[in-house]
């Protein structure tokens, strides 16, 4: 079908047309070399097409964490759709002699045709939780390992940190402002993960465009310094953005900044922002001064290298919202969740499925396909994570007390077809809802910032012995 001429389209659509018509970049080489060398060896030995089950889980939570938050599932599914080996990728692999011609032929026709189940994005998880189950042939499943882990590990680390921050903030809004502290593509992913865990918006415009996230931002110190004085800077900002904007008042003297802000905008100014100094005492002084000037509804926003502990320390301060950057996009001290992608069941020579697991010291695995559910007490609070190892069926079919179990796995890919409910802006919305509900059912102590064990224990029931 021939594309319409740009001149026949509205101006904004015409400008976007080249991007819309250009092919999406392949994600196939966002992987490690050993994925493809394993594939070559498996094709040569004749076991590449054996049916297999891989699981994604973490053996432990980062020190001090009582729960993790799964994020990145929607991004992973979007990337799976682009996991294709085109001419450019195949030519490079051939030139570098990464794999042989037979393997190149297989990759040229690669399509994932299996099934993927997983925890719904936004769900909380614990050590051993099988947050993703990939089922298909060894050949089509093993090559997804690095792509899956690179997305889930980073996004979940950010979401886990973000959840601690929004929990510490209680009902005060938290905004994501970390783009300048991360790789440009990681910044986009971090914004999405933060919103899933309760942040109300992001400064990152690409994240806003791609997933429909609310975007926020007004002015930095450079804008104030550009002008001859603070008053002139505020006049210019109010003229451009209206009195609902947020004025940055700590470029020079905070008290004078408050006075200049209200002198320019009047008592109905939207907000002022503090980005340095002793935020607790400054917020108290600013609130008092705003009230004296009649700006009782003008809010106070604080930024300045906040993390969950700093937010908790400001609980008694007259602060209305927070902006978080560096700590968020680096996982607040835990930049990865330590998730692994392990083979847990494979088709044997006789055609039957057989559980497999590592026996390495400190990395002992549990073989066999698993179903997962969360046991709830009569008040709806989670008391344990239940993993059932056995035949391919829902965990509730074996449970004696079905009413107390909430199944955790949902279908994400069926027969190679991605369930698009979990992708795009709609997927983010579902993940936001799931996280809020999942965190609300955790034991009350789960949200403390003090170091402790996982909020609930994980128990494993074997039905295949």
The pLDDT of residue 21: 45
Could you tell me if 216 and 201 are in contact, meaning their C-beta atoms sit under 8 angstroms apart? yes
> Which of 409, 363, 364 has the alpha carbon at shortest distance from 386?
409
The pLDDT of residue 392: 53
**Using one digit for the tens of pLDDT, what is the confidence trace for 217-269?**
999 999 999 999 999 999 999 999 999 999 999 999 999 999 999 999 999 99
Give φ, ψ of 124 to 5 degrees.
Answer: -75, 155
* Residue-wise DSSP of 308-364: HHHHHHTTTS---EEEE-HHHHTGGG-----EEEEEEEEE-TTS-EEE-----TT--
- How far apart are the C-alpha atoms of 302 and 282, rounded to whole Å? 10
**Using one digit for the tens of pLDDT, what is the confidence trace for 330-366?**
999 999 999 999 999 999 999 999 999 877 656 667 8
The pLDDT-based confidence of 441 (bands split at 50, 70, 90) is very high
**Using one digit for the tens of pLDDT, what is the confidence trace for 33-69?**
999 999 999 999 999 999 999 999 999 999 889 999 9
Residue keyed to tokens 């066999």? 368
Could you tell me if 243 and 271 are in contact, meaning their C-beta atoms sit under 8 angstroms apart? no
**Using one digit for the tens of pLDDT, what is the confidence trace for 111-159?**
999 999 999 999 999 999 999 999 999 999 999 999 999 999 999 999 9
Q: How far apart are the first and last CA of the chain?
A: 58
Residue 384 has pLDDT above 80, yes or no: yes
Query: Mean of the pLDDT values across residues 439-451?
Result: 91
| Ramachandran area for residue 333 (φ above 0: left; ψ -120 to 50: alpha; else beta) | left
The pLDDT of residue 6: 36
Query: Mean of the pLDDT values across residues 193-213?
Result: 98
Ranges assigned E (strand) in 172-217: 174-176, 201-202
The pLDDT of residue 397: 54
Widest CA span in the chain: 83
* Residue-wise DSSP of 442-458: S-GGGG--S--S-SS-E
Asked which of 112-126, 378-392, 407-421 is least confident by mean pLDDT, the reply is 378-392
pTM: 0.91
Residues in Cβ contact with 247 at an 8 Å cutoff, skipping those fewer than 6 apart? 218, 219, 234, 237, 238, 257, 261, 264, 265, 269, 271, 272, 273
The pLDDT of residue 452: 83
The pLDDT of residue 46: 97
Instruction: For residue 332, give Cα distances in angstroms to 61, 193, 305, 310, 390.
Output: 14, 14, 11, 12, 37
Tell me how crowded residue 345 is: count the other CB atoms within 10 A of its CB. Answer: 23
Could you tell me if 83 and 27 are in contact, meaning their C-beta atoms sit under 8 angstroms apart? yes
The pLDDT of residue 8: 45
Could you tell me if 132 and 118 are in contact, meaning their C-beta atoms sit under 8 angstroms apart? yes
Q: Which domains does the chain have, with CATH numbers?
A: 33-159+334-462 (3.20.140.10), 218-319 (3.20.20.70)
Could you tell me if 365 and 130 are in contact, meaning their C-beta atoms sit under 8 angstroms apart? no
Query: Mean of the pLDDT values across residues 309-331?
Result: 97
Asked which of 20-29, 109-118, 327-336, 423-432 is least confident by mean pLDDT, the reply is 20-29
Query: Mean of the pLDDT values across residues 303-318?
Result: 96
Coil/strand/helix, residue 24: coil
Coil/strand/helix, residue 266: coil
Provide the token pair at 82: 């682009």
The pLDDT of residue 393: 45
| Ramachandran area for residue 144 (φ above 0: left; ψ -120 to 50: alpha; else beta) | alpha
> Which of 170, 221, 166 has the alpha carbon at shortest distance from 197?
166
Residue 329 has pLDDT above 80, yes or no: yes
| Mean pLDDT score of the chain | 92
3-state helix, strand, coil in the chain (%, to 5): 40, 20, 40
Residue 307 carries which DSSP code?
Answer: -
């Amino acid at each position: 079908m021939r594309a319409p001429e740009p001149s026949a389209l509205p101006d904004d659509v015409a400008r976007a047309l080249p991007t819309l018509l250009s092919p999406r970049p392949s994600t196939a080489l966002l992987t490690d070399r050993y994925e493809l060398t394993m594939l070559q060896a498996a094709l040569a030995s004749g076991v590449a097409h054996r049916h297999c089950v891989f699981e994604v889980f973490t053996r432990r939570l980062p020190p001090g964490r009582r729960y993790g938050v799964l994020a990145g599932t929607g991004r992973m599914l979007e990337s799976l759709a682009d996991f294709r080996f085109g001419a450019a990728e195949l030519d490079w692999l051939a030139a570098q002699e990464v794999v042989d011609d037979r393997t190149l032929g297989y990759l040229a026709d690669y399509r994932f045709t299996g099934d993927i189940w997983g925890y719904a994005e936004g769900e909380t998880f614990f050590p051993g939780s099988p947050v993703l189950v990939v089922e298909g042939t060894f050949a089509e499943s093993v090559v997804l390992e690095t792509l899956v882990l690179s997305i889930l590990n980073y996004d979940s680390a950010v979401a886990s940190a973000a959840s601690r921050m929004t929990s510490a903030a209680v009902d005060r809004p938290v905004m994501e402002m970390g783009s300048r502290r991360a790789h440009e593509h990681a910044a986009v992913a971090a914004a999405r993960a933060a919103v899933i865990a309760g942040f109300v918006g992001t400064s990152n415009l690409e994240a806003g465009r791609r997933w429909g996230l609310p975007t926020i931002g007004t002015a930095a110190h450079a804008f104030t310094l550009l002008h001859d004085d603070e008053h002139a800077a505020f006049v210019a900002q109010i003229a451009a953005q209206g009195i609902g904007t947020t004025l940055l008042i700590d470029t020079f003297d905070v008290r004078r900044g408050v006075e200049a802000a209200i002198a320019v905008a009047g008592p109905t100014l939207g907000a002022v922002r503090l980005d340095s100094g002793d935020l607790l005492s400054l917020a108290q002084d600013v609130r008092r001064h705003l009230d004296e000037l009649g700006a009782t509804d003008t809010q106070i926003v604080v930024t300045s290298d906040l993390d969950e502990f700093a937010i908790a320390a400001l609980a008694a301060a007259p602060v209305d919202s927070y902006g978080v950057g560096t700590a968020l996009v680096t996982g607040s001290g835990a930049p990865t969740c330590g998730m692994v992608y392990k083979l847990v069941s494979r088709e044997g020579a006789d055609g039957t499925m057989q559980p497999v697991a590592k026996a390495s010291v400190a990395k002992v695995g549990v073989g066999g396909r698993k179903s997962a559910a969360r046991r709830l007490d009569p008040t709806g609070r989670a008391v344990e994570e239940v993993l059932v190892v056995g035949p391919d069926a829902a965990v509730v079919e074996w449970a004696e007390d079905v009413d107390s179990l909430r199944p955790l796995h949902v279908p994400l890919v069926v027969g190679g077809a991605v369930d698009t409910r979990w992708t795009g802006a709609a997927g983010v919305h579902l993940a936001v809802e799931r996280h809020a509900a999942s965190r609300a059912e955790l034991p009350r102590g789960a949200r403390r910032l003090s170091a402790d064990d996982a909020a609930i224990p994980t128990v494993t029931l074997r039905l295949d012995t």
